[in-house]
Chain A
Amino acid sequence: MSDTFFTASPEWTWWIVLYFFIGGIAGMAFVLASLLDLRGDPLDRPLVRLGYYVAIAGVAISGLLLTVDLQRPERFWHMLIQSNTGRPMFKAWSPMSVGAWGLTLFGACAFLAALAAFSEERPDIKILQSAPIRWLRRRGAAVGIAIAGSIFGLFLAGYTGVLLAVSNRPIWADSHFLGLLFLVSAGSTGAAALMLLSIWRRAGSPAAVSWLAWFDRRVLILELLVLIVFLVSLGPVAGVFLSWWGLLLAGAVGVGIVTPLSLVSHRAATERQLVRGASLVLFGGLLLRMAVLLSSNAIHVLGTGVTGP
């Protein structure tokens, strides 16, 4: 039996499930928007702006969810500042410490990118045309923000799985593939979220939506492969999923990967099929995080009650 079964559950439940889900979408929405910003064409601008808005909204909600999950929310700043010395608090070997800084820096990039996008969209608002904000829209600044934000966005999408792995809990600490799995899943859910919003808001050329769909199809296949590798890497611990949690995981695969793949696996997928497929990808991404987090949380310290001699 794995030594991880002798540990207590941190009870990271719904707030954290939602944070992992929304944080992943925010991170990858920024990355995809940045790619369109740097390599797309002028017709993609509405979709670029949408991606930056998703990122700033997602990171704001993420910060809120993380704070609410703390047992002492008013001490959230202890993650960044040492409460007794006032100096910066940073541990390179603690994913939660690095994550707190990563989220903050990603938030800063997402804010600047969204501000520049909003000023581009609303030239009628005078304050948005001030010199500092216009500077944000200059090519050099925009490229810098896009690259820095993408690095932090990719970090945000994947560090959550690494955070779980750097523990001693069953399932989480029994595999090295959780960070990769969450990252790839954030790739599929981030693209799905952007696809849905771009269709809903009519914000983006058909070519840009096709690019997102093409990207999502390949990432879904990658996600399925990584999920299989993750389960194999768990060894006997994977037996935990021979329960209701397994049903949840199977749901994540069936609803969130296999069905969407069948809906959007061809070039001529209709808009309706794309909407259905993207919605299912999002639901599946949520199920995946529920299955991984809640299944481990449900395992409590091994007792020492009555046993055979």
Chain B
Amino acid sequence: MIAEPMGFYTDTTVCIGCKACEVACKEWNQLPTSVDRLLEMSGDSYDNTRQLDGTHWRHVKFIEQFSEDRSDGRWLMMSDVCKHCATAPCLEVCPTGAIIRTEFDTVVIQSDACNGCRDCIAACPFGVIGINAASNTAEKCTLCYDRLQAGMEPACAQACPTDSIRFGPIRELKQQAEARVRQLHVLGESRARLYGADDKILGGLNSFYLLVDEPEVYGLPSAPKMPSRNLVPSSLLSTAGAAVLVLLGLVGFRKRRMDEHV
């Protein structure tokens, strides 16, 4: 039974890119710095994590918007994480039942049940899930399920020095986020908007964001969809095709008999 949905509200306007969340996440969840590759520098950005995967459950994105001569520009920073979607594509497709919805309305992969088929990776519209080479199973942020069960807040939110990552009941977080958007609009930042706070995106994201540009600028899809949107039309077309193939075979017999009688 879900007592009250819990989640994250990330205000990207106060993120300073310190990556304390990334470190706290790795420490608490005992995630290796790197398993299958050497520490690599991106070489073109302060962002060396590059993307979320099985061993990077938090990723501070550095969106660097500069003119060619670098006389004009800005940095947008955003601590990215699993969105714990209200209707989760990964949970929908998982064939082993390893992905579950918890009593906090969060989405968790049970590593001991996952067999590494990777269907969830293809289904996630945000590119959040990856294989952890240490366990050889699909892994992602659990929203610190173990800490939540003990009444603690997730490690990343606790470590965030600017309160860019806020944790709490979704209902309260939405009120805070809406107030912040209004404040930014008054201050002249008319591009401020919430991403995933309402139910338009996958029924609502339990990790939603305050952005000051289009979602695509932050590497977020503008209208992510459920994988099952393709199930019925694809299946119907295939069924029709199967009928045509069988029919062709039968017509072939008719022709064969006619040829034999000639």
Contact = CB atoms under 8 A, between A and B. Distances in A.
A178 B238 CA distance: 9
B148 interface: no
Interface residues of B, number: 83
A214 B121 contact: no
A214 B44 contact: no
Interface residues of A, number: 80
A96 B119 contact: yes
A214 B255 contact: yes
Interface in B36-94: 42, 44-45, 47, 50-53, 61-68, 72-74, 89, 92-94
A134 interface: no
A309 B65 contact: yes
Q: Binding site of B, secondary structure by majority: helix, strand, loop or mixed?
A: mixed
Nearest to B253: A39
A35 B250 contact: yes
A3 B63 contact: no
A7 B237 contact: no
Interface string B202-225: 000000000000001111111111
Interface in A164-192: 164-169, 172-173, 176-180, 183-184, 187
B159 interface: no
Contact of A72 (B114, B122, B127, B244): B114
B137 interface: yes
Nearest to A186: B245
Given A6-B220, A7-B126, A8-B127, A78 B98 contact: yes
Given A78-B97, A157-B242, A309-B67, 9 more contacts: A8-B127, A9-B122, A11-B121, A71-B117, A93-B231, A166-B234, A168-B124, A215-B252, A301-B219
Interface of B: 42, 44-45, 47, 50-53, 61-68, 72-74, 89, 92-98, 112-119, 121-131, 136-138, 216-225, 227-228, 230-231, 233-235, 237-238, 240-242, 244-246, 248-250, 252-253, 255-256, 259-260
The 10 closest A-B pairs by CB, nearest first: A71-B116, A3-B221, A75-B115, A179-B238, A8-B127, A10-B118, A167-B122, A158-B238, A97-B95, A301-B127
